[in-house]
Each structure stands twice: as structure tokens, then as C-alpha cells.
Amino acid sequence: MCGIVGVVDRNNLASPIIHEALKRLEYRGYDSAGIATIYQNKICLKKEKGKISEIHEKLDFNKLLGTIGIGHTRWATHGLPSKTNAHPQVDCTNKIAVVHNGIIENFLELREDLAKRHNFVSETDTEVIPHLIEEIMAKTKCDLHTATRRALQKVKGTYALVIICTKESDTLVCARNESPLVIGVGKNANYCASDIPALLPMTRKIILLSDGEMATIHHDKIRIETINGEVEVQPKIVNVSWTPEMAQKGGYPHFMLKEIHEQPHALNGTLMIRPEVINKTANVLNDSEKLYITAAGTSHHAGLAGRYMLSKLSAMQSQAIISSEFSESTANLIDEDTTILAISQSGETADTLNAIKFAKDNGAKIVSITNVMGSTISRLSDLTLYTQAGPEIGVAATKTFIVQLASLALISLQLAEIRGMTDNSEIEQIREELFQTPRIVENTIKKHESLIRDIAYEYAYKPNFLYLGRGISTTTAMEGSLKLKEIAYIHSEAYPAGESKHGAIALIEPGFPVVFIAPHDDTRERIIGNIMEMKAREATIISVADENDYEIKKLSHKMIGIPSTMGILSPITCVTPLQLFAYYAATKRGYDPDKPRNLAKSVTVL
Ligand code: G6P
């Protein structure tokens, strides 16, 4: 949450570069934003409440002069979204400016002491940092990086920070502890930001800063050292394969729609993961006595689907636990014989990282699935499998979900082979079908997008929805329901269809929309029964079902037909219509699906 960026450039104005980078980081938070530069020995600052485009229209960020600067887009934790609480935060003398992502846990204590000598204007935890640095620099006459290091030794909490000071108008100082921060190496310019896509138009040469490290960045040199030990760290430059175009809308009105359309490509990329990597992952899982899958949000739904795949294909027992509940629900259960399969597209979700740390402390082995190279999750893991979706910018996860499913299917099939639990010919058939899923998803979009849009437009103003599925389709229903809630702000619930008669059915009245995920698998007969129950109460039935299933078609008011696949792969083929449905419902209601209110893509607070 919160996006930060720093630029030091020898030849160009920093502010327009920061402004563009902030737009690419806006998925991390968008309740206020600001930029500070140094020009003629002064901090020049523009910040305001609102989205970046609204603020820019009002204040024109690009008019800020200076070749060095920092920027921030905020997701409020301490203090309401407001101009005063927006970052950058400055010291009393207006010589030091700071942007921060994370939470300073001991800020009240620090503030109480500093407030005796310093003038605090905001409610943020961040504001203690510029005042601390100001005080240290004034007392000891040290340089910015030394003052920052000393200040950070007093600070408890999580942070990615970038700091500028008029006394050193060619220097960015940045530091990281449990909030993401990368450094970009340019030509006569260097950068830092919360993620790689923010920097792609400027450079693809990236240094991944580790927790507990800080950097002093000039336009032509970068020095990295540990915050506590002052030990110099040799920077390792990674050349990333993501292109700048991947982080742009490419003609689509929203990133979310672009990313839904990119799913066939993302699936193709992920299905090409080297068989050795899949085999190694499957073997680690096979060697464990206890297997827990942990994740948050959409990734948790992939984890739930993974559990069905593992059990059905390879008779592998596992439990899928929401990461924020992990330590509580597995207290006394984790030991050296346990493996954790952690799933996170960003690799930075605090809840998931916390679950991993808890499991590691208790001796478990960590295997992770993530989409972001060098992300924190990969550094905490014994083994990481990288999905190949390219950068995902839309807040609501789409293409990263589908590739998580594909990688879980690859692992489950490999495990089935290792454990000899499924017939070889069946394994081969499912594998072949898995490799057909990019084509199926592509055809579904081509064939049905306008039908789905029409259905979404028709029902976009219904206040409540129910999503039902059986077996693995329950997880597809959960994901479809989450998408509708997240971006269209329509209340919806997902249930195993069989369970609906124990509660949710009480909600049904004439015209209540119920979305059934009903692919042609061995739950079909039963789900037809559930459709009948809802129909008998005059619900409106919208179904995602096999295109040749005339029985379900007859029972449905609207049906989106998908080609039949082996049941276990159905989340991959059934989820796209649900993503498109949510997208068009959101746009019909006038909402921006890329920036749903109160949400952020990467949730780095617990
Ligand atoms: C946030 C996002 C969701 C995402 C979840 C987990 O809540 O808004 O779209 O599914 O975090 O993110 P992760 O990066 O760990 O998959």
C-alpha cells in the first residue's frame, strides 16, 4: 500500500518522470498524492487529497522544477486522506522531505518527545522521520545518509522510505524494512520505486534492495549498505524481461480489461515453466508430512482450487488457510515435517509474509508461487515457482489468478505421476487439456464478451447476487463473487450450492440473481437440483455451463456457454466470464475498475 518513487537525473526535470511513475503505482493507493523536488536550494512541494489525475489538473505537477525529487501515492493508515496528511512530509525548516510506505509502530512515543522541539502538522506516523533527521543533522552536522541511518535506529516498524534534503541537492537516500523498494539504474540518472513496473520506461536494470538495507543514490553512483551494521553491500543488477508496454493500457480503457484479454498469453507463458521446476516443486510437496496452502484474497481462491486438484489428482492431503488466520488456526501444528505452499501474485502481502515467517520459525519448509521476481516472498522461500503473467496493474487480480490455477494444475499432475495415484492416460488427457486452456479462454472472450456485457448491463443495478458452485466450482463462484463486490460494489455471496439450502436460500425472492457455475463434471446432476430449487423460488438464473448443456440452458434465464474440459480444470475456463461480468457491471455503474475504493493491490499492512 502506498507507492513511492525517487528520481535523480542529471539532464531532465524530475517531476514529470515522477508523475508518470506515480500513475503506474496508483494501484497501491490513491486517496492523495504529492511530489517534492529540490530547486534553487529549496524544497518545492505539491500535494493534495484525491487521485493523481485530479490533483495534476488542479496543481500541474509538471511545473515543479529541479532534477531531483520524490513522489508518493497514498493509501491512508494514520490520518484521514487530506492535503496535510498527504506525502511528502517535511521537517520544520522545510529542508528535508520524506515519502514512506509502511507503518512506524513507535511513532507516538517518538512524536511525544520530538513535539517538545518540533512543529508537527499532520496526523501521520511518517512525519516523525523528517523531524528526527532534522534534529540529528542539526546536532551532529552529519550528512543525510548518516542522519537517516541514525534516525532509523530509533524507529520500529515497517518502511520503504525515500528522503531528499536541500543540503545535498544531488542525493536520494532510501531504506527498506519489510515494505518493497527497488532501485533502477539509468543513464546519467538513477531511480527508486515501490515496484519494477513503475521504472520500466526509464530502465530495465534493477537492483532489489533487501530488508535492513539503505542506499545513497546519485545520478552516476549508488552505494548500498546495511542500516544497522554499516556494512557495504555490492549491488547486484538484474536485467528484467518485462517491457514498458506491459505496464501500459495498450488501447484498452482499463488495465483490468487488458489483463483479462491477456489471459491466454499469460497461460501460455506459465504452461512453459520448465518441467524440472515443476518436478522439483512436486517432490518437495510429496516429501512433506503436512501440507498447508496459505494466501489472501484472490490468491486464496486459487489455493482452495489447488486443494481440490491435489486431492482429486494425487490424493495429496492439504489445507488451504487464509493467511491472516494462519498462525491462529495452525498453532501447535507446524513443525519440520510441514511444508507451506504460499501463493501471492505480488509476493508482498503482509498477511501472507507473516504466515510464512510464523511457519519458518516453527521449522516448516516454504514453497511459494508468485508473479514478481525478487519479491519478499521469494526471498523467504526455500523454493519459488514464478508464474509468467507479466505485470498486473489493475487492483482486482485477473490474469495472475488464472496462471496460479495453471501452475497448481501442473504441480498436481506431476504429483499424480510421482505418487502413481491417477491413471497415466488420464494424466496425459488432463495435461493435454490444460495446454488447450489458452485457446479456450481466448475463444470464450472472442465469442461471448458482448453477450456478457449485455447481461452485466441488464443486471448491474441489482443490489444482491448469489454465486453457487459445487466441488472445485465453489472456488470459481467465490472468485466471481469477490470480483463483483470489489469493483462493482454490489453485495454478493458465494456458497457451495449444496449448502445454500441451509441458509442463503432464505434470501431468494422473485428476480434475485443467482449465478451458477455448472461445468459438465460429476457434480452436474446435483447442481441441476440446486438450480431447480432456486427456480422454484423464482430466482433469476445466470449460468456458466457447458455450451452443449441444453438442459441447463433451458433452466437458465441467461447462459454463457464454455467448451467442456476435465472438471478439475474448469476454474481456468469458467472464471473469465465472471471477471468480464464484474468488469462490465462496474463500468455500467460508472466506477473505475482499476481503482476500487478502499482497496489496494499490494496490501503491506497486517
Ligand atoms: C489485495 C488485492 C487482491 C489480492 C490480495 C492478495 O487485497 O486487492 O486483489 O488478491 O491483495 O494479493 P497477493 O499479491 O498476495 O496475491
pLDDT digits (tens, 9 = 90+) for 54-70: 999 999 999 999 999 99
Phi, psi angles (nearest 5°) of residue 558:
-135, 140
Mean pLDDT within 73-86: 90
The question of whether 574 is a catalytic residue gets the answer no
pLDDT, position 431? 95
Q: How are the residues of the chain apportioned to helix, strand and coil, as percentages rounded to the nearest 5?
A: 45, 25, 35
Burial of 216 (C-beta count, 10 Å sphere; 0-12/13-18/19+): buried
pLDDT digits (tens, 9 = 90+) for 295-353: 999 999 999 999 999 999 999 999 999 999 999 999 999 999 999 999 999 999 999 99
Mutate to test the pocket of ligand 1, among 300, 323, 346 (most ligand atoms within 8 A of CB): 346
User: Is the CB–ligand 1 distance for residue 349 below 6 Å?
Assistant: yes
- Delimit the domains of the chain by residue range: 3-246, 249-435, 448-594
CATH topology of domain 249-435: Rossmann fold (3.40.50)
Give the Cα separation of 595 and 394 in Å (integer).
7
pLDDT, position 27? 82
Q: Please check whether the two domains, 249-435 and 448-594, share a CATH topology.
A: yes
Label the pairing between strands 290-295 and 319-322: parallel
Q: Which CATH number fits domain 448-594: 3.40.109.10, 3.40.50.300, 3.90.870.10, 3.40.50.10490?
A: 3.40.50.10490
Q: Among the atoms of ligand 1, which is closest to the Cα of residue 297? A: 10
Mean pLDDT within 538-546: 97
pLDDT digits (tens, 9 = 90+) for 171-188: 999 999 988 899 999 999
User: Is the CB–ligand 1 distance for residue 389 below 6 Å?
Assistant: no
pLDDT, position 421? 82
The model's pTM: 0.83
CB atoms within 10 A of CB 272: 10
Mutate to test the pocket of ligand 1, among 301, 345, 408 (most ligand atoms within 8 A of CB): 345
Q: Among the atoms of ligand 1, which is closest to the Cα of residue 299? A: 16
232 versus 422: which is more confidently predicted? 232
pLDDT, position 76? 82
pLDDT, position 602? 76
pLDDT digits (tens, 9 = 90+) for 549-593: 999 999 999 999 999 877 899 999 999 999 999 999 999 999 999
pLDDT, position 36? 98
Tell me the DSSP string of 329-346: HTTTT--TTEEEEEEESS
Distance from the CA of 348 to the center of ligand 1, in angstroms?
Answer: 9
pLDDT digits (tens, 9 = 90+) for 384-431: 999 999 999 999 999 999 999 999 999 999 999 999 988 889 999 999
Domain 3-246 superfamily per CATH: Aminohydrolase, N-terminal nucleophile (Ntn) domain (3.60.20.10)
